Chains A and B, each alone.
Chain A
Amino acid sequence: MPIKPELLKALNEQTQNIPVAQERWPELAVELDQLRIAAEAALTVHDFDRDPGEFPAVLRSRRT
């Protein structure tokens, strides 16, 4: 289900409190939908034991 502009607006009022122009809410909803789809796609390889903090160590391990 796509993110609704009204939801973002309510979230902003309750939590972030940043100034956002009225006409931006529908655009932001589209942008955030795209990001959420990407995040969902990443879950297909989710590994419960994977620590994001391992990244520098994996970089070093992949040098050869």
Chain B
Amino acid sequence: MRPLLFFACLCLTLPTGAAEPLDLAPVKKWIARQDEFRTVQADFTQTRALRALRSPVVVPGRVWFSTPNSLRWELGDPAKTIVLRKGDTYLLVQPAKKKAQRLSAGNIGPEGGAKGFAMMEFPLASDFAEFQKKFEILSVKTEGTHCHLELLPRDAQARRFLSALKITFDTKSGHLISFEMVTRDGSSMRNDFTNVRLNSKIDRRTFDYDLTGIDVAEEKN
């Protein structure tokens, strides 16, 4: 029922399209550089501009990523929500509520795959061909060392509620500057990354969580 209502709520606007010839060179270069990043650490500010709310909600957070698929995503300071990924398993922890939930990657987003609203999937694609297979590129604009990329997932389910994915990256270092998801109802969720550290050492324990005293719910039917 919930996904149904969710889709119904998001079906208020239509996706936009773009047909101009695009300069894809910076994108290709950026994707090609993804292999160079073994680890990523950053702070971020998440701004949730929801259509139903008069003013946006702003939350700080932190992220750690290590190849091939270890992730720690903390939302709030102190963290109110922590997402840990190891392989295909996600652990969602709410420390204050002493609750956790274990999920498979297929259940983290409504359309399947690690496309959770608040997070970005790392890495986006292994090469440009895969990137193009996964995303339709709506626009590419370069301003100085900032490249603004507007995408739309090719996944039909995701397209039903997303009108755009907006990514800004640094063309020099290749690191993410911002990542925004815009839904069809006009809501958006934007992550602005700061203090980005690439390929610095991350303690493996970062991707673990001591579940002592935490009530862990397993994935439901």
Interaction A to B: no
User: Footprint of A on B, CB under 8 Å?
Assistant: none
